[in-house]
Structure 1
C-alpha cells in the first residue's frame, strides 16, 4: 500500500473569500476582468487558450486563469493559485462565472485532470500535457485528490506517472506511466486504485485481465483526446509509433503490424482499453497535421491527415475503420469539429467542409489568418474559428461568410463552447 495522508475541509487552512465571476480573474486576487474585446458581443461563451493560460470569452469580456483545468464538456473549471507556501483551489461555472469559496491546500499544487462530471480533481506538483510533452525524470510522483467538498487525499505513487482521467465511479485514476522513470522514452496506460494507491494494467475489450508483460508501451505522439457524449469513453489519437505492438498482439504472440497511427479507446466505466489502427498513410506525416472529431451522437469518429489529404471514419460501436476517402492536402496544424451531418477541417488560413455521407465532396472557405481552433455552438448554428488575435463566427450551413468577430489579444487556441450546468 502506498503512503498517503488524508485531510478534511476542517483541517485545511482557512478558506479564502472569493465567490462570483471575479474569482476567474487569475493569479492576482484583486484583478478585474479585462476590458471588453469588441463592441459586438460574442453570441456564445467560449473556452480559449491565451498567453499560456485558460481563458473564457463571455459577451464583450475576457477572463483568464493562469492555472486551471476544464471538464471535457466545457461546463466546469478547477482553478488554483499560490497562497503563500500553499495553494488556493476553487471551482468555476464556465458560463456564469460563478465560483465556489476557495480552499487552501498545504503545499504547492496545480490541477492536472478532472473527472468527467467535474466533481473530483487530481493535482500534481507540476502540470504535464498528456498529449504534448513528456515529464522530467523522477522516481515517484505526488498526487493530490480533492473532491467537491474540499476533502483531499495525498498519494505518493511509485514511478513517473501523469494523471490522465478518472474512472466513472471515481474509485480509480488512469495514468500514463513513463519508462524508464528517470529517463522516460515510452509510456503505458495504467489504472491506480485510489483506495490503496496501487497501479495495475487495464483489462481488454473482452473485459479479461492482461497477462504480466503483455501491456503495450507507446513511444509516439499523443495528438488529441476527445470524450464521447455520455462521458464514458475517452478517445486519444496517437501518431508515430515505431515498432509498436498492441496488447492483443502481445497476448497472441503476433508481431506488431506496420501501423503509424491509431485511436486509443479508454472506457472509463468498464475499465478496458482498445486501439483502432489507422491505415497508411496516417501517422507518417507530422503529428500536427492530424486532427480528430466526434459526431454529436457519438457514433462516428473522423480522423483527418491534411498532409496526405486523407480522412478516415471510425465506427465507435464496432471500433473499426468503416471507410477512408480523399480530402484536401495542406500543411501546418490541423483542426476538426463535426456536426450531425457535416465535418469541418481547418489548416492555415482555410476551412473545409464536407458532407458526412460524401466525405470526398469538399467545399473551401478562406479566413483572414491561420486557424488555431474550430468549435460549433451548442445549437450548431455557428462555426467559431480561432485565428491570430481574434475569434470569428460563420454560418455553417451557407458559404462560410463571416457573421462577426471579436479581437482576442494573445489567443493561441480555441478549445470549444462553454456549456451550462
Structure 2
C-alpha cells in the first residue's frame, strides 16, 4: 500500500490447477476464475476486490482473502483458519510457486511485510497503519513469521499497530495509539525485537528524541509509499490540527500543520516530517494522493480538490516547488513515470509534465477512477473502473482494452514482476 507504489500477498497459483475451481483452506475459499470478458490484461495487476486481495493475470483472476502483498508486488503472504491455528504461506506472483504452508498458533492476520519481502508482522485484528483509528485495548499481541514459521511472539502493553520493519529486521516500527482504551492520537515508535521493548525514534541528526518530544498525531494517514531502494517509507498525513513536530517541541517553536509527509528511514531509524504548504490538508483526505518517481529522487503530493501539486526532493527533504493544476472532485489517485505524473479524480485523468510541473494533457473515462498503475514500458496506463479495469494510451487517453472485474475496489499496482 500501499498506491502508486505499495503492495503485498502470497502463494496459491500452483494449487489451483483448474479454471473456475475454489480451493478451501479452513473456512476460506481462495478463488481462481476467468475475467468476465474475452479481454486479457497485458500486465499482471494487484487489486483489491470485495473478497480480498486480487491478482489479475491475462484472462484469470485470483482472489486471496486475509492476505498482504510485498511492497514491490512480487509476492503475497496469505493466512487462513486452520483448526485452532492459522495457516500461513507465501506465493511468488512471478512464478506461481507457493511455499509449504506452516501453522501458526492462534488466530492471526497479516499487517506489514519487511522491505525485502521475507518477514511479516501479524496481529489478531485487521487494523493497518493507514486504516484509521483502532478499537481501544490494553494489550496488543504481535507475531513475526517467515515461511519457516514463528520468529518472534510477544505482547505490547498498550494499543499498537505494526507499520514497517527496520532494514536489518531487528526492529519493528509501530503506531502507538493514545490513550490505549479510547485512542484519539498516535505516535510512531520502534520495537526492539530482541528486548521486545518499544522506544522513541531518532531525529534526522541521528540523536535520540528527548522525553516528551515525540510527535503525537491526530490526523489521517492517507497513503504510504516505499522508496525504490527500499530504505525509506513516506507516509502522507492530513488534517493535523495544532500539530507540532519533534523539532518544534525541542526548540519550543509553535506548530500548526495541516498536512505533511512523514519520512521514516528504515536503516538509521530516524523520522523527519516535510511540511506541506496551504491548502494541503484543508480539504478531504481522500482527495490527496502521493507518488514517487521511478528513480526515487522526487515525491509528488497532489490535492485534487484545490488542484495543488507539490514536488518534494527526497534527498533534501524539502518542498522544492508547487503548482496549481485543474481542480477535480472525488478521490485522488496518482502514479509517476520518468517524465510524467498521472493524476485522476472522478472521471478525469490528467497528465503532468514533471519538469514544467504543469498539465499537458487530459481526458475523460466512463466511470470514476479507482486507482492508477503504469506498465513497466510506460505504454499502458491502467485505471480502476466500476467492476472493471481499463488500459489506455498514456499520450492520447485512447482505451486500448477493458476487462470486467466484479467487486473491484481499487487498483494497487503491478504484480509478479520478475
Which TM-score band (shorter chain)?
over 0.9
| Residue of structure 2 equivalent to 1:311 | 309
Q: How far apart, in 2, do the equivalents of 1:135 and 1:30 lie?
A: 27
Relative to structure 1, the CA distance from residue 26 to residue 74 in structure 2 (aligned partners, 3 Å threshold; closer, same or farther) is farther
* Structure 1 SS opposite 2:243: coil
Deviation at 1:146, TM superposition (A): 0.7
TM-score (norm. length: structure 1): 0.93
Q: Is the 8 A contact 1:384 1:392 kept in 2?
A: yes
* Structure 1 SS opposite 2:250: helix
Match of 1:22 among 10, 16, 27: 16
Q: Is the 8 A contact 1:339 1:380 kept in 2?
A: yes
Q: How far apart, in 2, do the equivalents of 1:83 and 1:243 lie?
A: 47
Q: How far apart, in 2, do the equivalents of 1:151 and 1:222 lie?
A: 29
* Structure 1 SS opposite 2:286: helix
Q: Is the 8 A contact 1:237 1:262 kept in 2?
A: yes
Deviation above 6 Å: which 4+ runs of structure 1?
none
Aligned runs of 1:39-54 on 2, under 5 Å? 39-54=38-53
Comparing both chains, which one has the higher relative contact order based on Cα–Cα distances under 8 Å and sequence gaps of 6 or more?
Answer: 2
| Residue of structure 1 equivalent to 2:133 | 134
Relative to structure 1, the CA distance from residue 31 to residue 196 in structure 2 (aligned partners, 3 Å threshold; closer, same or farther) is closer
Relative to structure 1, the CA distance from residue 25 to residue 403 in structure 2 (aligned partners, 3 Å threshold; closer, same or farther) is farther
Deviation at 1:103, TM superposition (A): 0.5
Q: How far apart, in 1, do the equivalents of 2:142 and 2:81 lie?
A: 17
| Residue of structure 1 equivalent to 2:413 | 416
Matched, 1:328 2:326: yes
| Residue of structure 2 equivalent to 1:261 | 259
| Residue of structure 1 equivalent to 2:355 | 357
| Residue of structure 1 equivalent to 2:277 | 279
Deviation at 1:149, TM superposition (A): 2.0
Deviation at 1:36, TM superposition (A): 3.5
Deviation at 1:359, TM superposition (A): 1.5
Pairs aligned (count): 403
| Residue of structure 1 equivalent to 2:223 | 224
Match of 2:292 among 267, 281, 294: 294
| Residue of structure 2 equivalent to 1:113 | 112
Q: Is the 8 A contact 1:21 1:97 kept in 2?
A: no
Q: How far apart, in 2, do the equivalents of 1:283 and 1:338 lie?
A: 21
Relative to structure 1, the CA distance from residue 333 to residue 29 in structure 2 (aligned partners, 3 Å threshold; closer, same or farther) is closer
Q: Is the 8 A contact 1:220 1:238 kept in 2?
A: yes
Aligned-pair RMSD on alpha carbons? Answer: 1.7
Deviation at 1:95, TM superposition (A): 2.8
Deviation at 1:85, TM superposition (A): 1.6
| Residue of structure 1 equivalent to 2:154 | 155
Q: How far apart, in 2, do the equivalents of 1:26 and 1:176 lie?
A: 34
Q: Is the 8 A contact 1:385 1:414 kept in 2?
A: yes
| Residue of structure 2 equivalent to 1:76 | 75
Q: How far apart, in 2, do the equivalents of 1:43 and 1:385 lie?
A: 13
| Residue of structure 2 equivalent to 1:7 | none
Q: Is the 8 A contact 1:140 1:157 kept in 2?
A: yes
Match of 2:399 among 398, 402, 416: 402
Q: How far apart, in 1, do the equivalents of 2:81 and 2:147 lie?
A: 19
Q: How far apart, in 1, do the equivalents of 2:330 and 2:357 lie?
A: 21
C-alpha distance after superposition, 1:66-87 (max 9, x if no partner): 1001011111111000012210
Deviation at 1:29, TM superposition (A): 6.8
Q: How far apart, in 2, do the equivalents of 1:393 and 1:156 lie?
A: 46
Q: How far apart, in 2, do the equivalents of 1:195 and 1:102 lie?
A: 26
Q: Is the 8 A contact 2:80 2:88 kept in 1?
A: yes
| Residue of structure 2 equivalent to 1:65 | 64
Deviation at 1:360, TM superposition (A): 2.1
C-alpha distance after superposition, 1:391-410 (max 9, x if no partner): 011121x2110111100000
Q: Is the 8 A contact 2:51 2:63 kept in 1?
A: no
* Structure 2 SS opposite 1:34: strand
Q: How far apart, in 2, do the equivalents of 1:138 and 1:271 lie?
A: 27
Return 354-363 or 286-295, whichever deviates more: 354-363
Q: How far apart, in 1, do the equivalents of 2:14 and 2:57 lie?
A: 14
TM-score (norm. length: structure 2): 0.93
Deviation at 1:41, TM superposition (A): 1.4
Q: Is the 8 A contact 1:20 1:100 kept in 2?
A: no
| Residue of structure 1 equivalent to 2:5 | none
Q: Is the 8 A contact 1:21 1:96 kept in 2?
A: no
Deviation at 1:30, TM superposition (A): 7.1
